[in-house]
Structure 1
Amino acid sequence: MRKLNLALLAGLTVLFATSCGTGDQPKDTAMKNTITIQEANQRVEDYAERARAAFPVSAELRLQSQFKDSPCDDPTDNGPKGRLVASRGYQVMGPSVDQFPQQFEAIQAWWGQNGFAVSTDSARGADRTVAAENKADGFTMSLRSNNVGQLYLNTSSPCVWRNGTPESAN
């Protein structure tokens, strides 16, 4: 159980580390309208469901974490406080550990066909994380394996305003 908790914690760390963008957003664009947090939640789920096509037909995405309106106060994106982020974490059930390398190749191919660009690819033993960002809308996804033979798919929105408009403009 301790290993599972550590694995989930590591996954959430990756999820939040990639959830609020790349840090290159100018301050003047941060006060612009965004999609709503409701739309962000729907898109997070849609991306995960669409990405499921990269895995074997028998694979199952089992929801492990769900954050529907977490604060997005990441100072590295130069944006204002008050925005929110939506994210989901799924354990990918089905593929065996010896199939993990093919799963990483498959998800990267899917990302490439769907507007995502790989931003991180790191490995330490059996632990590997590959993350990507959709340059058109700022959503991020990551695939992570761990040393206890688990595979996780994480999806996050960029920072958005609850109702799509900056709080100070309401």
Structure 2
Amino acid sequence: MGARHWRTGVLAAALVAGLATSACGGDDDVQPTVTAVQAAQRVEEILREAHSQLPPGAELKPFGNSGTLPCDDPTDGGPAGRVFVEQQYEVAFPASWPADQALPTLADYWQQRDFKVVNDLRERSDPRLSVEDPADGYRISVTVYNRAPGSVDIYLIGSSPCVWEHGTPAPQ
């Protein structure tokens, strides 16, 4: 009778341990990612690569809200608690610069690199093109705002996929 209670106790302990592990989400479900700092570096890299494709004379000027933001509604089906990094730039250029070539030039460049089109609104009065690098999920977009005749504003925005701020989830 003592051995039977011992086996039952061991079995109960194993079940409780298994349930406790699975209730915590399990480490098998959570994959490490790059850190938010590394994601910011990659976002900056793709923005600088895009900038280098534009005709000479254009400069990137920080614009809007940038930095680490909560990944509240991840579209990748991954766990909550992650962040993404976004950086926004206005493309400043001299009056004689060929602003009408910015979007077609970047579209050709991204197509040559096999970036996936996420949103193509090039036929609008204020055209926009958003693409994603299929290798790592980083996105970049260019938006052209045609203001008053002869006045154009161009913006480049880059963003990371959802990542853990420190590469792994914070311990609970």
TM class by smaller structure: 0.7 to 0.9
- Structure 1 residues 75, 40: CA separation in 2 closer, same or farther (over 3 Å shift)? closer
1:36-94 Cα offsets, whole Å, 9 max, x none, are 00100111111111211111110111110353221011243322221011111111111
Aligned length: 142
Q: Distance in 2 between matches of 1:139 and 1:120?
A: 14
After the TM superposition, which of the residue ranges 119-128 and 94-103 deviates more from structure 2? 94-103
Residue in 1 aligned with 2:102?
103
Unaligned ranges ≥5, structure 1: 1-27
Residue in 2 aligned with 1:160?
163
TM-score (norm: length of structure 1)? 0.73
Higher helix share: 1
- Structure 1 residues 162, 30: CA separation in 2 closer, same or farther (over 3 Å shift)? farther
Higher RCO structure (Cα 8 Å, ≥6 apart)? 1
Residue in 2 aligned with 1:4?
none
Alignment of 1:126-145 (within 5 A): 126-145=125-144
Counterpart code for 1:70: L
Q: Distance in 1 between matches of 2:33 and 2:113?
A: 21
- Percent identity over the alignment is 36
CA contact (8 A) 1:134 1:140 kept: yes
After the TM superposition, which of the residue ranges 144-153 and 28-37 deviates more from structure 2? 28-37
Q: Distance in 1 between matches of 2:77 and 2:65?
A: 25
Q: Distance in 2 between matches of 1:36 and 1:49?
A: 20
Residue in 2 aligned with 1:121?
120
Q: Is the partner of 2:64 in helix, strand or coil? A: strand
Does 1:54 find its partner at 2:53? yes
Alignment of 1:57-68 (within 5 A): 57-68=56-67
